[in-house]
Every structure is written in C-alpha cells, then in structure tokens.
Amino acid sequence: MSTSTTAPVFDEPALVARAKAGDMSAFSDLVQHYDRRIFRMAKQITQNDDDAEDVLQESFLKAYTHLDDFQGNSKFYTWLVRIAVNEALMKLRKRRSDRTVPLDEPIDTGEDEMVREIAVWDENPEETYSREELAQILDQAIQSLKPAYRTVFILRDIEELSIEETAEALSLSISAVKSRLLRARLQLREKLTRQFKRQGDDAFAYL
C-alpha cells in the first residue's frame, strides 16, 4: 500500500506570527522561501554579486531585528522588499559608481508622452540570437537604465509586484510608479530597437 505526501503549504501570515512570537524556525522558513528572490532583485539593482549577498544578509537581519514593527498591513514580502531596496540603494550611494542620476533626484511624475525615434530592424532578433543571448541583451539593457527607473521596472515587471505594492516598497505615489515604469519601458524599447535594428517591434511588444 503506497502513501502519498504533499509539500506543506506556505502560510506567510502564520509564519510571521510564529516568528514574532520568538519561533526562530518560522523565521528561517521565511528566509528560505524568499532568499533567492531577494538576492536576484538585489543583484539587478547593485549589479554586483558581493553587494547583492550583503544586501540579502543585511535585509533579513534588519527584518528580524524590526519584526515587531511589522504591523501586517501589507504582505511580509512587500515589507521585506522595501528593506532590501533601501539596502541596495545605500550600496549604490556608497559605491558612487552609477553616475547616471542622483538616486534622490526629483523626477517628473506627470503622465507625459515621450516621443521616441524607432530605428529600423532588418531581421528578427529571435532568428539571429539564441534565447540565452537575448536574455543577456535584455539584462544589459535593464542594467543601463537610471537607478530610479531600473528599480521600479525590476519590482513591477520582473518581480511582478503590483503597482500598489511597488509604490509601497519604494515609498512612492502610485502616479510616480506609473510614470517611472512608463519611462523605463520606453527607454528599454529604444535601447532594444537600436540593438536589433529590425523592422517592426512585435518581438518586444510587452515592454
């Protein structure tokens, strides 16, 4: 007679409640569930493995230290992302290697239209590049964005947080998130258009 086992359901609120009550194993479960996503996000922002690892460690340490401050008004992951983003941006400030724009520079949040010159693509990029090469080209384009735009794009389009969650994580208004996301997508579209130089833009219509 065979018996089947199912993986335990991840119950974030229950684990957070147990962790706040002093259950270290519950907090460890939260760490194991989210550590890869936090590291990936931190690496996208800092563009450096060592810095991303530091951000990961510092974020979970700060989350544990301030666990009592988490009121449960949002998802624990959204709260954790906010901590990690702050830590990652602090890394950039200290490193001072990204000179594209000051991280705290005010950015127009109006829903203004941006006129972009679209180059002509001569061939389909999917016929010219492998999937891995396409992923590398897209990653390089994302890394070239200004930090204010790159962070919003990573949270919304890569980590798939909602507009509201992204706004909360970055302490921005919803209109500011929408404006920065629009600019990030348009800039990526332009960069990829120039890269591939083929006619049409359907290959990256999601941007």
pLDDT tens string 63-104: 999 998 898 888 899 899 999 998 998 888 887 654 544 444
**Cβ-based neighbours of 55, under 8 Å, separated by 6 or more:** 38, 39, 42, 45, 46, 84, 87, 88, 91
**Cβ-based neighbours of 98, under 8 Å, separated by 6 or more:** 92, 147
Q: What is the pLDDT of residue 96?
A: 60
Residue 111 located in a structural domain: no
Q: Which residue has the higher pLDDT, 191 or 59?
A: 59
Residue 106 located in a structural domain: no
Mean pLDDT value across the chain = 77
141 and 73 together in one domain: no
Q: What is the pLDDT of residue 112?
A: 38
At 16-39, the pLDDT tens digits run 999 999 899 999 999 999 999 999
Q: What is the pLDDT of residue 94?
A: 81
> Is the CB of residue 163 less than 8 Å from the CB of residue 201?
no
Q: How confident is the model at residue 130 (pLDDT cuts 50, 70, 90)?
A: low
- Domain count along the chain: 2
The first and second tokens of residue 85, run together, are 């983003």
CA 191 remoteness from chain centre? 19
CA-based nearest residue to 91, from 50, 61, 140: 50
Q: Which of 48, 79, 95 is the last residue of a domain?
A: 95
How far apart, in whole angstroms, are the C-alpha atoms of residue 141 and residue 135? 10
Residue 139 located in a structural domain: yes
Q: DSSP for 68-91, please give it.
A: GG--SSS-HHHHHHHHHHHHHHHH
At 146-162, the pLDDT tens digits run 888 989 998 888 888 88
For position 91, which CATH number holds? 1.10.1740.10
Owning domain of residue 174: 125-204
Q: The pTM is what?
A: 0.64
Q: Which of 95, 115, 146 is the last residue of a domain?
A: 95
83 and 144 together in one domain: no
Residue 37 located in a structural domain: yes
> Is the CB of residue 125 less than 8 Å from the CB of residue 167?
no
| For range 134-140, the mean pLDDT | 78
Distances, alpha carbon 153 to alpha carbons 34, 49, 69, 199, 206, in Å: 19, 20, 28, 25, 12
What are φ and ψ of residue 121, in 5° steps?
Answer: -95, 130
Residue 118 located in a structural domain: no
Return the top range by mean pLDDT from 62-76, 90-104, 124-138, 183-197: 62-76
